[in-house]
Amino acid sequence: MTPSVGILAIQGDVAAHARALAKAGARAVPVLREKDLDGLAALILPGGESTTISKGMDRLALWEPLREFAASGRPVLGTCAGAILLARAVEHHPVPTLGLLDALAVRNAYGTQVDSFSAPVDKGAKKGLEGLRCVFIRAPQLEELGLEVETLARVEGRPVLIRQANLWAATFHPELTPDTRLHELLLS
């Protein structure tokens, strides 16, 4: 059976994640209300603008439903702004977050939009993700990682993909390259 994967659809890179999921063999479901979470195998919080997405979560009363989804143990992947929304704390224009992932997210830590770049993961990335090319767009950096947090990939020595139990956070945009290995990993 084709798994259904939700994408929080308030703002951001929803369409590109949906294409990546289709390529990885899943059905993408836009999430805008609690009911949309029913029956999902996993959930993606996309990149975009974390302040805007956070305000949308207020408006749509999605904070508790999203926390409950994460507590159910199903995989949740936050990418870029989505990673910020998972973090325990945020530095540099703080924004309300779900506070589930034991990490500090430093917003726009590489500079402004013009400082966007792409780079391959360093040697030593998790098996199956070797050579993964990462696109960074006004990306955050993840610091002060808790003891339960595992670093799965680094770029230039900094963690860019981390995992704490069922929670995954990428500071880059895995949906913007043809390489769907991270989406496949989330589904496995």
Which is nearer to ligand GLN, 37 or 84 (by Cβ)? 84
Which is nearer to ligand GLN, 27 or 55 (by Cβ)? 55
Backbone angles phi, psi at 142, to 5 degrees: -105, 125
Q: Please name which of 169, 55, 185 lies closest in space to residue 102, comparing C-alpha atoms.
A: 169
Q: Please tell me whether residue 7 binds ligand GLN under the rule CB under 6 A.
A: no
Which is nearer to ligand GLN, 34 or 49 (by Cβ)? 49
Identify the burial level of 4 via C-beta atoms within 10 angstroms of its C-beta, where 0-12 means exposed, 13-18 middle and 19 or more buried: middle
DSSP class of residue 3 equals P
CA–CA dist 14, 26 (Å, integer) = 14
CA–CA dist 131, 136 (Å, integer) = 15
State in angstroms the smallest separation of the CB of 118 from ligand GLN.
Answer: 13
Q: Please tell me whether residue 151 binds ligand GLN under the rule CB under 6 A.
A: no
Q: Does 175 participate in catalysis according to the annotation? A: yes
Q: Please tell me whether residue 177 binds ligand GLN under the rule CB under 6 A.
A: no
Q: Please tell me whether residue 43 binds ligand GLN under the rule CB under 6 A.
A: no
State in angstroms the smallest separation of the CB of 107 from ligand GLN.
Answer: 4
Identify the burial level of 28 via C-beta atoms within 10 angstroms of its C-beta, where 0-12 means exposed, 13-18 middle and 19 or more buried: buried
Binding site for ligand GLN (CB under 6 A): 47-50, 80-81, 84, 107-108, 137-138
Q: Which residues are catalytic?
A: 80, 173, 175
